[in-house]
């Protein structure tokens, strides 16, 4: 396809080469770091509050929702409930680094409660001093291992699960997660320790294999990290080793579905495939021609992907 960038977003990797990429060497206390955070999150009460907007769209009733995440951070978003029928399953559905301004109404899960949180600092959950600009958001507290914004966003995922189960306790064992780009990366970190999600889908997931991410030319938030890294190499690597989605993916235990791109100017494909390759659980792969870039037949690929997801998540309804 025509390349409008001043670098090659395929990085000259073939699909076969992408499927051979291993996760980076991990820090010794990676598990203790994340297990403690997960346990702390489980001990928090999200106290979700919902408000009926009175609006319906595409067969869904639309509710505003907010819940308390770690650090008493108020997370806002939307909850979609079917207009009729029995609710048999639930989904946490993340967003890219551009945030979101509405729920996704096209998803084929008509018997589900679907929670669309806006992660801290972004969209409905914007709050100073966190910048809602991805270039700055990704650097927020990057110099401090325990305070880095990415870890707090992982906790927002865990508290979203707690919030949905607080509202619908009967859905225990019937929850799924869908994350794209930014929320694909934090999703891998969350699902590595999250035992209440039964199935997950990650689409062009970010934050995979940080040593590679910091070297490969790119656009988006990864470029911002690279610029910071040039001035603070040792310190940055020490922090980012704990926030590597590929390292985390080795711990994922539930069945997973991945959509990974072989051409992507914002989330380098080697990082995406490092996450997929590291996953030891039952997994499926849908290969996208491109991510973060329009291309011929994109709509047809997305239609095929939705068909796969319909089948993949069907067991949650039983």
Per residue in 85-101, pLDDT tens?
999 999 999 999 999 99
Q: How far apart are CA 13 and CA 203, in angstroms?
A: 19
Q: Which CATH number fits domain 15-312: 3.40.30.10, 3.40.50.1820, 2.30.40.10, 3.40.50.970?
A: 3.40.50.1820
pLDDT at 151 over 90: yes
Q: How many CB atoms lie within 10 A of CB 27?
A: 15
Q: How far apart are CA 140 and CA 85, in angstroms?
A: 43
DSSP, res 207: S
Instruction: Identify the CA nearest to 92 among candidates 69, 71, 121.
Output: 69
Q: How far apart are CA 115 and CA 163, in angstroms?
A: 9
pLDDT at 3: 79
Token pair listed for 102: 């509405």
DSSP, res 100: -
Per residue in 265-315, pLDDT tens?
999 999 999 999 999 999 999 999 999 999 999 999 999 999 999 999 999
Domain chopping of the chain, boundaries: 15-312
Look at residue 144 and give its three-state secondary structure: coil
Token pair listed for 19: 């499927």
| Run of H or E including 306 | helix 298-312
Quick one: residue 31, left, alpha or beta (phi over 0 = left, psi -120 to 50 = alpha)? alpha
Q: How far apart are CA 179 and CA 141, in angstroms?
A: 23
Q: Please tell me the pTM assigned to this model.
A: 0.96
pLDDT at 1 over 80: no
Q: Are 185 and 209 in contact (CB under 8 A)?
A: no
pLDDT at 318: 84
What one-character-per-residue DSSP string does 33-46 give? Answer: HHHHHHHHHHTS--
Q: How far apart are CA 276 and CA 250, in angstroms?
A: 9
């Amino acid at each position: 396809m025509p390349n409008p960038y001043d670098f090659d977003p395929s990085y000259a990797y073939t699909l076969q080469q992408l499927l051979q990429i291993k996760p980076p060497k991990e820090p010794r206390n990676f598990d203790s770091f994340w297990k403690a955070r997960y346990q702390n999150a489980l001990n928090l009460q999200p106290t979700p509050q919902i408000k009926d907007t009175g609006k319906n769209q595409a067969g869904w009733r639309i509710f505003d929702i907010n819940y308390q995440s770690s650090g008493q951070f108020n997370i806002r978003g939307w909850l979609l409930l079917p207009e009729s029928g029995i609710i048999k399953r639930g989904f946490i559905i993340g967003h890219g680094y551009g945030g979101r301004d509405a729920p996704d109404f096209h998803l084929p899960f008509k018997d589900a409660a679907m929670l669309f949180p806006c992660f801290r600092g972004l969209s409905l959950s914007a709050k100073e001093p966190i910048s809602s600009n991805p270039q700055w958001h990704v650097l927020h507290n990057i110099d401090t291992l325990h305070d880095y914004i990415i870890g707090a966003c992982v906790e927002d995922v865990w508290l979203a699960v707690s919030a949905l189960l607080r509202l619908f306790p009967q859905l225990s064992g019937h929850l799924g997660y869908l994350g794209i780009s930014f929320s694909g990366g934090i999703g891998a970190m969350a699902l590595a320790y999250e035992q209440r999600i039964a199935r997950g889908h990650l689409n062009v997931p970010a934050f995979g294999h940080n040593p590679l991410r910091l070297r490969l030319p790119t656009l988006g938030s990864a470029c911002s990290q690279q610029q910071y890294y040039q001035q603070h190499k040792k310190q940055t690597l020490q922090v980012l080793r704990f926030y590597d989605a590929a390292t985390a993916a080795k711990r994922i235990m539930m069945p997973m579905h991945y959509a990974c791109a072989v051409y992507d100017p914002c989330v380098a494909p080697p990082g995406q495939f490092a996450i997929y390759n590291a996953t030891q659980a039952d997994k499926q792969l849908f290969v996208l021609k491109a991510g973060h870039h329009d291309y011929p037949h994109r709509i047809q690929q997305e239609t095929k992907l939705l068909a796969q997801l319909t089948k993949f998540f069907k067991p949650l309804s039983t």
